[in-house]
Chain A
Amino acid sequence: MDELLRDFIVETNQHLEEAATQLVLFERDPTDASLIAKIFRLVHTIKGTCSFLGLMRLQHIAHAAETMIGELRNGAAPTQTSVTVVLAAIDRIKQIVEAVEATGAEPEGDDADMIAQLDAQAAMLAASLTGEAVPEAPVAVAAAVAPPPAPETTSELPPQAAPAVPSEAVAPVAATPATVPRPKPAPASAAKTGAAPGARNSETIRVAVDAIERMMQLVSELVLTRNQLLELTRHRQDDAVKSPLQRLSSLTTDLQDAVMRARMQPVERLYANLPRLVRELATECGKKINLVTEGADTELDRQLIEILRDPLTHMIRNSADHGLESPAERAAAGKPEAGEIRVSASHEAGQITITIADDGRGLDIEKIKKKLVSNGTATEQELAKLGEDEIFKFIFAPGFSTAKSVTNVSGRGVGMDVVRSNIESIGGSISMQSKLGRGTKFSMRIPLTLAIAPALIVEASGLRFALPQHAVVEAVGVGQHSGHVIDKVQNALVLRLREEVVPVIDMSQVLGLDQTARQSGEQLVVIMRVGGESFGVIVDQVADVQEVVVKPLSASLAHLKVFTGHTILGDGSVVLILDPGGLAMSIGIEKSGDKKRDVKKESLDADKMRLVMFRAGPGVVKVLPVSLVARIEMVEPGRIEHADGRLTMIHQDRLMPLVPVGSTNFDPSRSYPVLVITDGDLTVGLLVDEIVDIMEESLDVQLSSGGYETIGAAVVRGQAVEFIDVTSYLQSVASSVTRQPAKDGGRRQVLLVHNDAFTRDFLSPMLSAAGYRVTAAASAKEALQVIDQGSHVDAVVTSTDLAGMTGNELASAVRRSPSAREVPVIGLIGTEETYDEADSNALTLRVQAGDRQSLLAGLSDAFKAMQRAEKRSALKSKTKAAA
């Protein structure tokens, strides 16, 4: 293609983009004469270049548009239609320019319709300007005037062969606006335009993107070679070489910097088409929207700008369509009629943060939950256990939409997952915050550039790999001499890190490396975070941190999901770059839709419980819910002491009583695992022989054993286990409370409500051992949800002191539900709790929290009473029916 034509296309596209933006601004603020002057100038330039290049179609549209804009410049007030028409004209010009770009010539086509519209608008504006008509009249005039020229021109246009237009044929079109009385703006404007834009142009030249890319590549290679040289000379004391090398090194760094900067573009480029987008969305959705953009001068790698364009557009569509309310709704909510979408960019800590915030209705968490339940992603109980943030994460799951109807704008449920994967593919992350009624805010964190990234060089089994730093959270030493220990649970590795349990993979294993080459001793776990999920990777050591130039893998290796690319390090060796996402996948964390899976498997599965299995004394393996265990500690022989006929040890500066579980014969010469159990002030260590496993299983305690210290037996993975009774151990060190197994025939459904996980975890197995089916709820709200949902509940056992509600209030609330009017509610009273008789009249019974015998007896009595009542009412209805 002609060099000139190519320049024209690039330039015209820029001008068009700018003109569209300015026009939208002008529509909002018609008093700003500088805006319309600018638009006029832009369109005028386009027209001029077109005629110079012989692009007649473009010239005619541009001319008609110019004429119309000229009227605006002369002071006519813009109407929404006039702006829409100009925008449409700009679109048409864009289309033609695109075709020119593809084929090198103007495509065939007829623009008479467009030109007629522009002319009609021009005439109308001119009329309004001369003040010959009242505001409404021009519309009528326009309507009357517009149709005639249209057919007239079309009739004359067909013979027009697009590129080479006989100028006579189009003359009438051009002439039409000329007939409208107006001063000649064109020459005047040309004179005016001359001065202003010239100043800016002198400082810039246009460079092809390819040229910059090539420079970037060369610089990358240069950086690598420099690094190699530095590595070679590091151990040599040759000053003659050293100082020029130093200079070369710093020059290379500067050059790299300069080229990087040349690739940088202000985020403004990303913002350029937003005003128009928002204007269109506002019209489409019938809303008033103000767009606020901030940080337009923040610079970002041009490649990233292109990648971000679609996600940003998508999120703005979402905000406009779902986020913002209609003007009426807003007014009703006491908000200004016009909603606001605020897009801001800022640079922090080597990353760019772009946020898209609206002041709309916010996300309705209940609606999301409902949707999740209805499409089978999760059940209501499962969701009840999740925090708001976790539920919001479902927004990023594939196919999710809460929109009631699919609109033209959005609501098809394709999108946020794509947005997320787009952002993650460039090493960024996206998060969301939302307040019901206040608005929603999406934040994207994006690396500055893709080409060069800092990476940890890690070693595993003698091989080196690069781990992109953006995904790395920290590195933790593990082994005998550091505080952290990796446990093997069900053949999988986990690291207990502060309060979290982090899944861990062994890099050597994942990569199938020869583990004999591995150095023994201290290892490191690199903690990474991908898509909100943390995991650890075991490596032998972190050798270095280097800036690496990411080169994509060749096609024959591209199928390896754990690698994203390769690079050459300073010493000239090639290393593979690990893909954090791929590693996460190898551990079972999926990039998107991961929640769906996790939810099903772990936290949400109501029946499942994390259990620690251990051996203690003779007999079967014993189990305990992990939630009851504060820590598991390996205690060396010397630390356990006999005192007062009891075993004790110092634990966190306090004397902790130890109780051997089962009849473990204490052998003072070996070390023991100790399960530390805490309940309030009471701490006890359970001395066991061996920890077998930690697993997640549903626990069905089948029979209540008569033995002290066990609640019952259960089958876990086909193996009989004993469920030990923690309270008995706690009590054995505090005071002794007698315990009697309770028996009750029916499989009644008991809803257990307690804020305290500890209490829930020890009461639910006990209740199920007594033959009840137990649903546990962590709060009054959760409990009421269970009931409202229509789940059958035979009895409620609740703490009398729930957060935000007393047991009595809960009882009343429960009974308000038609299905639970007769349900007995038993209140558990804390040891130091006092209660007011009058305040607990809704409770069927109150028992001390620790007094399980009374609780079981109470439940049993309540059910017997219920049975009697049921029989009575059944009898009554029978007699009634008989009568």
Chain B
Amino acid sequence: MTSTAQALPSQRTVSEDINTLTVVANGEVFGLPIQMVQTIFRISSLSRVPLGPPDVAGLVNLRGKIVTAVSLRRRLKMDNDVVEPNALAIGIEHKGEYFCLVVDSVGEVLSLDEGKRIPIPPHFDPERLRLTTEFYRAGTMLIPVLDVNALFEFGK
């Protein structure tokens, strides 16, 4: 295992432009800090984890590495997504563990600058807010940036 652990950027204090990869889950667009993204791949086969956290779709063999697949749709409590083979996944390393986030589709890389940041609207679902760091305007869209730390922490 080569040392791929990167210093996690401190998310709450982003002050400059951040580049995010947009991902789509259930028609909604989210941003993922690009420096967290290691690889994008299609899941060939998936082994379920009985008794595991419900958001964990299963384990995936990614070139000899065992990767924990997390469904973004389930994580955001959108639906009871069942991850099928051939699903699109984004490989992310978090605290020395390999994860992949299963999404519906991947968009483009957007540069979001500080000026477009907006305060978090107070009436948003707190459960979802837990998984996001900030909100940006990008054209006509409002893009929530996902908090990788929160995404891959499962309460026991």
Contact = CB atoms under 8 A, between A and B. Distances in A.
Interface stretch (B24-32, B44-52, B122-130, B141-149): B44-52
Interface string A560-580: 101000101000111110000
B49 A560 contact: yes
Contact of B45 (A217, A225, A572): A572
B136 interface: no
B95 interface: yes
17 contacts: A511-B50, A511-B51, A512-B51, A554-B66, A554-B68, A555-B95, A555-B97, A556-B152, A556-B153, A557-B68, A560-B52, A562-B51, A566-B66, A572-B45, A573-B47, A573-B61, A576-B50
A557 B47 contact: no
Interface in B1-56: 1, 44-45, 47-53, 56
A435 interface: no
Given A555-B95, A559-B156, A512 B66 contact: no
A511 B52 CA distance: 9
A221 interface: yes
Nearest to B98: A554
B60 interface: yes
A557 B66 CA distance: 12
Interface residues of A, number: 24
Given A560-B51, A572-B45, 8 more contacts: A464-B47, A551-B66, A556-B153, A556-B154, A557-B53, A566-B66, A574-B59, A575-B47
Nearest to A559: B156
A561 to B, nearest CB: 9
A557 B56 contact: yes
A657 B58 CA distance: 59
Contacts of A143: none
Given A555-B97, A574-B59, A576-B59, A221 B52 contact: no
A757 interface: no
A556 B56 contact: yes
A217 B2 CA distance: 12
Interface of B: 1, 44-45, 47-53, 56, 58-61, 64, 66, 68, 95, 97-98, 152-154, 156
Contacts of B97: 554-556
Nearest to A551: B66
A444 interface: no
A224 interface: yes
Contacts of B95: 555
A463 interface: yes
Chain B interface, DSSP helix/strand/loop, else mixed: loop
A554 B56 CA distance: 12
A229 B153 CA distance: 35
Given A463-B47, A576-B47, A557 B64 contact: no
A575 B61 CA distance: 10
**Which of B48, B154, B156: most chain A CB closer than 10 A?**
B48
B45 A513 contact: no
Contacts of A217: 1
Contacts of A566: 47, 59, 66
Given A556-B97, A566-B59, A573-B61, A463 B48 contact: yes
A847 B86 CA distance: 82
A466 to B, nearest CB: 11
A814 B58 CA distance: 68
A568 B60 CA distance: 9
A221 B64 contact: yes
A566 B68 CA distance: 11
6 nearest A-B residue pairs (beta carbon): A511-B50, A574-B59, A554-B97, A574-B47, A574-B61, A559-B156
Contacts of B66: 551, 554, 566, 568, 574
Nearest to A508: B50
A572 B46 CA distance: 10
Contacts of B59: 566, 574, 576
Contact of B64 (A512, A560, A568): A568
A173 B52 CA distance: 67
A825 to B, nearest CB: 59
Interface string A268-282: 000000000000000
Contacts of A464: 47
Interface string A568-599: 10001111100000000000000000000000
B25 to A, nearest CB: 20
**Which of B68, B153, B154, B156: most chain A CB closer than 10 A?**
B68
A291 to B, nearest CB: 42
Contacts of B49: 557, 560, 576
A700 to B, nearest CB: 42
Interface in A699-740: none
Interface string A116-147: 00000000000000000000000000000000
Nearest to B58: A574
A878 B66 CA distance: 89
A556 B68 contact: yes
B83 to A, nearest CB: 13
A754 B57 CA distance: 61
Nearest to A554: B97
Contacts of B58: 574
Interface string A285-317: 000000000000000000000000000000000
B50 A574 contact: no
A511 B50 CA distance: 5
**Which of B45, B50, B51, B52: most chain A CB closer than 10 A?**
B50
B130 to A, nearest CB: 16
Nearest to B1: A217
B61 A568 contact: yes
A15 B1 CA distance: 34
Interface in A399-427: none
A422 to B, nearest CB: 25
A544 to B, nearest CB: 15
A572 B59 CA distance: 12
Contacts of B56: 556-557
A576 B61 CA distance: 12
Nearest to A511: B50
A513 B51 CA distance: 9
A581 to B, nearest CB: 16
Contacts of A575: 47
A225 B64 contact: yes
A455 to B, nearest CB: 15
A463 B50 CA distance: 9
B47 to A, nearest CB: 4
A556 B51 CA distance: 12
**Which of B1, B51, B61: most chain A CB closer than 10 A?**
B51
A540 to B, nearest CB: 14
A511 B68 CA distance: 18
Contacts of A225: 64
Nearest to A513: B50
A555 B156 CA distance: 11
A568 B154 CA distance: 24
A464 B47 CA distance: 8
Contacts of A574: 47, 58-61, 66
Contacts of A512: 50-51
Nearest to A225: B64
A224 B64 contact: yes
B92 to A, nearest CB: 13
Nearest to B51: A560
Interface in A70-88: none
Contacts of A576: 47, 49-50, 59
A463 B48 CA distance: 8
Nearest to B68: A554
Interface string A196-226: 0000000000000000000001000100110
**Which of B45, B56, B64: most chain A CB closer than 10 A?**
B64
A572 B45 CA distance: 9
Interface string A534-568: 00000000000000000100111101101000101
Interface string A411-449: 000000000000000000000000000000000000000
A756 to B, nearest CB: 47
A576 B47 CA distance: 8
